Structure 1
Amino acid sequence: MSRKTVFIAFAKEDEARRNLFTGMRVHPKTPFEFTDMAVKQPYASAWKTRVRTRIRRSHGVIALISRSTPRASGQLREIKCAAEEGKPLLGIWLDDGYRTKPAVMGSAPCRLWKWSNIASFIDRLS
Structure 2
Amino acid sequence: MAKKRVFISFDYDHDETLKTFLVGQSKNEDSPFELTDWSIKEPIDGDWKAKARTRIKSVDVVAVICGQHTDTATGVNAELTIAQEEKVPYFLLAGYADKTCVKPKAAKSTDKLYKWTWENLKTLIGGGR
Percent of residue pairs bearing the same amino acid type: 28
Q: Name the CA distance, whole Å, in 2 between partners of 1:29 and 1:21.
A: 14
- Note the residue ranges of structure 1 that are not aligned, 5 or more in a row: none
Q: CA deviation at 1:97?
A: 4.0
Give the alignment of 1:58-77 within 5 angstroms: 58-77=59-78
**Which structure has the highest helix share of the two?**
1
Q: TM-score w.r.t. structure 2 length?
A: 0.84
Q: Which residue pairs with 1:40 in the alignment?
A: 42
Check 1:99–1:10 CA distance in 2 against 1; reply closer, same or farther (3 A cut).
closer
Q: Which residue pairs with 1:98 in the alignment?
A: 100
Q: Name the CA distance, whole Å, in 2 between partners of 1:56 and 1:42.
A: 19
Check 1:38–1:20 CA distance in 2 against 1; reply closer, same or farther (3 A cut).
farther
RMSD between superposed Cα atoms in Å: 1.9
Give the alignment of 1:1-126 within 5 angstroms: 1-12=1-12, 13-27=14-28, 30-35=31-36, 36-45=38-47, 47-95=48-96, 96-106=98-108, 107-124=110-127
Give the number of equivalent residue pairs.
Answer: 124
- Note the residue ranges of structure 2 that are not aligned, 5 or more in a row: none
Q: TM-score w.r.t. structure 1 length?
A: 0.86
Q: CA deviation at 1:63?
A: 0.3
Q: Name the CA distance, whole Å, in 2 between partners of 1:4 and 1:14.
A: 23
